[in-house]
């Protein structure tokens, strides 16, 4: 953090403290604005132009029966994203955010227009048979995510919300979570889109076998990402890194997005100041990943839809915070002595 960024963060804190209200009484809303000021180097925080990047990719591990639906659903939802009819599209319209669906590597090329093309390959491999991707593919996917952040910067966006769509990606993210945090597989694995008890046990077994096959004490973060992850996770990791490089705050969505943020911080620790947590995912390890990142979520609504819906749900909270930040009377305005820490 350079001196300009540090001073902007201090100025934002001083502005909050001068507003005629109890010190720190808006909690994480205040902290988020201070964090954004420090990242951008500007205490005059404005989030008027916002976007959602929804990264679409297919995962070869679906072949192991770890999902309720097959991979064709990924393309169907991508088509609906283009039509602006999915859940995140409707929420984004209400939150004044633009939605950009991105093809990171679905099983086939879409036969319709409207997606940003950042595809790496026709889906990943089944990680029980071979690594999900090569290290080179993982690097390309991360770099594609960085490029997306730069693109959004060039378009004038002030904040990026991350989202994903990919059948099987709660399996890939649970596998990465267990591998990176050293947590028991059964503690980090949920039912995804509604697995039965038997389906959940099969999913846990697949993840255990994948980790046993690919992960050793010598495996680095990129190696774990390549072995077990997905193009969507790698791309989101790149967006978080790119957010720091371009000084655009990036909202973590749910569990899958949070795992991508963990990958990003492990790859490039300096990107951490760009990260903002939107909500606690309904997936079992949602809070564990946020704790590992040292972040507190704004929302606890037991959401687990994906697509960026949780990240978008946080945007109106920033609007409310900024309404106070920019429009409230100060203690001086009303002739009252300013509160001080006691």
* H/E stretch holding 255: helix 255-267
d(CA 146, CA 202): 35
Do 234 and 141 form a contact (C-beta atoms < 8 A)? yes
- Number of Cβ within 10 Å of residue 190's Cβ equals 19
What angle, rounded to 10 degrees, do the helices at 3-18 and 27-40 form?
Answer: 150
Question: Are 151 and 118 spatial neighbours (Cβ–Cβ below 8 Å)?
Answer: no
Q: Bin 239: left if φ > 0, else alpha if -120 < ψ < 50, else beta.
A: alpha
- Angle between helices 87-94 and 309-327 in degrees, nearest 10: 10
The answer to whether residues 132 and 60 touch, using CB atoms and an 8 Å cutoff, is yes
CA angle 297, 338, 22 (to 5 degrees): 30
Beta strands in 76-155 (DSSP E): 97-105, 116-117
The reply to whether 31 belongs to the active site is no
Judge contact between 64 and 126, C-beta under 8 A.
yes
Distances (CA, A) of 212 to 166, 175, 179, 217: 24, 11, 10, 11
Interatomic CA distance for residues 327 and 330, integer angstroms: 9
Q: Is 219 exposed, middle or buried (0-12, 13-18, 19+ CB in 10 A)?
A: middle
Q: Catalytic: which of 64, 125, 164, 307? A: 307
Strands 275-277 and 250-252: parallel
Catalytic residues: 307
């Amino acid at each position: 953090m350079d001196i300009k960024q540090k001073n902007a963060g201090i100025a934002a804190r001083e502005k909050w403290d001068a507003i005629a209200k109890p010190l720190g009484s808006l909690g994480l809303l205040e902290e988020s604005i201070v964090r954004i000021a420090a990242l951008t180097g500007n205490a005059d925080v404005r989030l008027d132009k916002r976007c959602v990047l929804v990264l679409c990719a297919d995962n070869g591990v679906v072949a192991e029966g770890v999902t309720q639906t097959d991979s064709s659903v990924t393309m169907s939802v991508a088509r609906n994203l283009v039509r602006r009819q999915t859940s995140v599209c409707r929420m984004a319209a209400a939150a004044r955010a633009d939605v950009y669906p991105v093809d990171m590597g679905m099983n086939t090329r879409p036969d319709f227009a409207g997606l940003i093309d950042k595809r790496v390959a026709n889906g990943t491999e089944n990680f029980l048979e071979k690594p999900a991707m090569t290290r080179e593919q993982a690097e390309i996917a991360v770099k594609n995510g960085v490029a997306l952040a730069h693109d959004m910067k060039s378009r004038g966006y002030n904040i990026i919300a991350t989202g994903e769509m990919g059948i099987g990606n709660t399996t890939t993210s649970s596998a990465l979570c267990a591998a990176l945090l050293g947590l028991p597989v059964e503690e980090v694995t949920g039912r995804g889109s509604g697995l039965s008890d038997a389906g959940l046990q099969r999913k846990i077994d697949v993840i255990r076998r994948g980790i046993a096959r690919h992960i050793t004490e010598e495996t680095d973060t990129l190696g774990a990402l390549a072995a077990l992850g997905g193009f969507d996770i790698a791309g989101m990791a790149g967006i978080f890194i790119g957010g720091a490089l371009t000084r655009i705050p990036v909202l973590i969505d749910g569990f899958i997005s949070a795992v991508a943020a963990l990958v990003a911080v492990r790859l490039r620790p300096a990107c951490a100041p760009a990260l903002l947590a939107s909500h606690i995912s309904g997936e079992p390890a949602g809070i564990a990943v946020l704790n590992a990142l040292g972040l507190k979520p704004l929302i606890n609504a037991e959401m687990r839809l994906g697509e960026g819906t949780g990240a978008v749900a946080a945007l109106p909270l920033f609007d409310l915070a900024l309404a106070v930040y920019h429009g409230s009377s100060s203690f001086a305005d009303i002739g009252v002595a300013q509160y001080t820490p006691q």
